[in-house]
Amino acid sequence: MSTKKIVIAGGPGTGKTSIINNLEQRGFVCFEEISRQVTLKAREQGIEQLFLTNPLLFSEMLLEGRKQQFLDAKAHESSVVFLDRGLPDVLAYMDYIGDTYPDEFVSACENHKYDYVFILAPWQEIFVSDSERYENFEQAIEIHEYLLKTYTRFDYKLIDVPFGSVDFRTDFILDTLHLQ
């Protein structure tokens, strides 16, 4: 039996983590977003915003972490694993800031394919900035466009998650996957 790898994607402040937390509360296996861990680890080393200071190093660390999450999900005994963001997010953010990246970033996306990608659009009513999220809402809209382009570039058919309560959005995802 092969584990289905399902990405919850979207720009900053779109509700991804709330949905992941809700899925976990319902007993599903979920892998958390790792960029906050990378950011906090860099802060411990005295670098306030690693993505802004050294975007390529930050992105390399994210790419490696997400590749490991993909492999861990693939090997998991559960039939379904949800991931907070996927490998193409790394490229989308690099494209957004206009930075270049090595070819292995592209091959990582080509060689690690997810089964489903749910995308969350920017939503002004729930958007909040915090110490790890430096983007404003206008930037979140731009990032969303880059995410759409990048996932489409790797032939994903994106499933739009409608606005609504966390339970409503989680139910939508589970209903779409025929998991409830």
Residues 6 or more apart in contact with residue 97 via CB below 8 angstroms: 55
Looking at the domain that runs over 4-174, which CATH code has it been given? 3.40.50.300
pLDDT at position 35, please?
82
pLDDT at position 131, please?
55
Output the tens digit of pLDDT for each of the chain's 180 residues. 689 999 999 998 899 999 999 999 999 999 999 887 887 887 888 877 777 778 888 899 899 999 999 999 999 999 999 999 999 999 999 999 999 999 999 999 999 999 999 999 998 888 776 655 567 888 989 999 999 999 999 999 999 999 999 999 999 999 999 997
Q: Helix, strand or coil for residue 164? A: coil
Say how many CA atoms lie within 13 Å of 28 toward its Cβ. Answer: 28
The domain limits of the chain are 4-174
pLDDT at position 96, please?
95
pLDDT at position 67, please?
95
CA separation for the pair 118, 179 (Å, rounded): 15
CB 137 within 8 Å of CB 122: yes
pLDDT at position 143, please?
95
The string of DSSP codes covering 83-149 is EES-HHHHHHHHHHHT----HHHHHHHHHS--SEEEEE---GGG---BTTB---HHHHHHHHHHHHH
pLDDT at position 78, please?
93
pLDDT at position 134, please?
67
